[in-house]
Amino acid sequence: MLWAFGRFSNQSAIRETKRRIAARLYEFRLFVDEPKLIWQAQAGLLRDNLRYLGLTLVPAVVLALPMLVLFAQLDALYGWTPVRPGQTVVVTVQARQPFGSGEPLPALMLPNGFLAEVSPVRALEKRQISWRLRAMQAVSGTLRVTMQGDSVSKSISAGSGLRYLSKRRVSGVPDLLWHCTEMPIRSQWIDWIEVDYPPSRIEMAGVGLHWAVCFFAISIATTLVLRRRFRVSF
């Protein structure tokens, strides 16, 4: 991130703009009895801040897509925990088209180690069908949903420890920017399939934190330590 920020930003312009911002702040103290000069300093401070944001926009845009893909992979690894043997998990299918209560239910095939406890529940307005599954043992496999002749698979996992988990398999391009952990669905009836894994937390000083909080804290600290070595100003 430091390398990309330094490579795709105008470092000299950023340093000059930061100096101008600091000078505007000094003007507030120097001309405290001069309302006209104070107003001019405030207007200049606003312009310089907008210029600073514009200078940082280019590297932010360059970093946006690779960071989004990276976050999706990190979330699959650190954001969720597999369902433990004996616990239940909900699997939901989002249909592309409305369906009525009289239409036949989709067929669900489960890998060995999972058991569907009850009949599926249909939410007609949301075009969703959900099953409650119970994990009987630690296992990783693939379930398969067949709807109107279209058959779509989805990975599912039970056990413990750190695992790479795909929470949702999707079909649309916008959803793939975040849910890019499995190949896209190619079906005219099924939009996405989701396994509602329990969220994971990282324990620090007795407090459960989301992995993104730890990631940002470590990233900010590392950036502050290494920015001089990379000769980057921000």
Dihedral over Cα of 7, 12, 13, 19: its sign = positive
How far is residue 72 from each of residues 46, 51, 78, 211, measured CA to CA in Å?
Answer: 36, 32, 10, 12
Dump pLDDT digits (tens) for 165-215. Answer: 999 999 987 888 888 889 999 998 999 999 999 999 888 777 888 899 989
Mean pLDDT of the chain: 90
What's the domain count of the chain? Answer: 2
* 111 in the same domain as 185: yes
* 192 in the same domain as 92: yes
* 150 in the same domain as 53: no
Residue 204 maps to a domain: no
pTM of the model: 0.78
pLDDT (mean) for 135-152: 93
* 75 in the same domain as 92: no
Residue 142 maps to a domain: yes
| Per-residue confidence (pLDDT) for residue 168, from 0 to 100 | 94
Q: Read out DSSP for the chain?
A: -HHHHHHSS-HHHHHHHHHHHHHHHHHHHHTTT-HHHHHHHHHHHHHHHHHHHHHHHHHHHHHHHHHHHHHHHHHHHHSB-PBPTT-EEEEEEEESS---TTSPPPEEE--TTEEE-S--EEETTTTEEEEEEEE-SSEEEEEEEEETTEEEEEEEEESSSS-----EEE-SHHHHTT--SSPPP--SSEEEEEE-PPBP-EEETTEEE-HHHHHHHHHHHHHHHHHHHHT---
* 180 in the same domain as 98: yes
Residue 194 maps to a domain: yes
* 108 in the same domain as 7: no
* 213 in the same domain as 183: no
What is the span of the domain harbouring residue 96?
88-198
Cα maximum dimension of the chain: 79
Residue 203 maps to a domain: no
Residue 92 maps to a domain: yes
Dump pLDDT digits (tens) for 23-57. Answer: 998 888 888 888 888 899 899 999 999 999 999 99
Q: How far is CA 50 from the centre of its chain?
A: 28
Give the pLDDT band (50/70/90) at residue 142: very high
pLDDT (mean) for 97-106: 80
* 222 in the same domain as 148: no
* 92 in the same domain as 192: yes
| Per-residue confidence (pLDDT) for residue 30, from 0 to 100 | 86
* 63 in the same domain as 113: no
| Per-residue confidence (pLDDT) for residue 50, from 0 to 100 | 95
* 74 in the same domain as 92: no
| Per-residue confidence (pLDDT) for residue 135, from 0 to 100 | 95
* 140 in the same domain as 176: yes
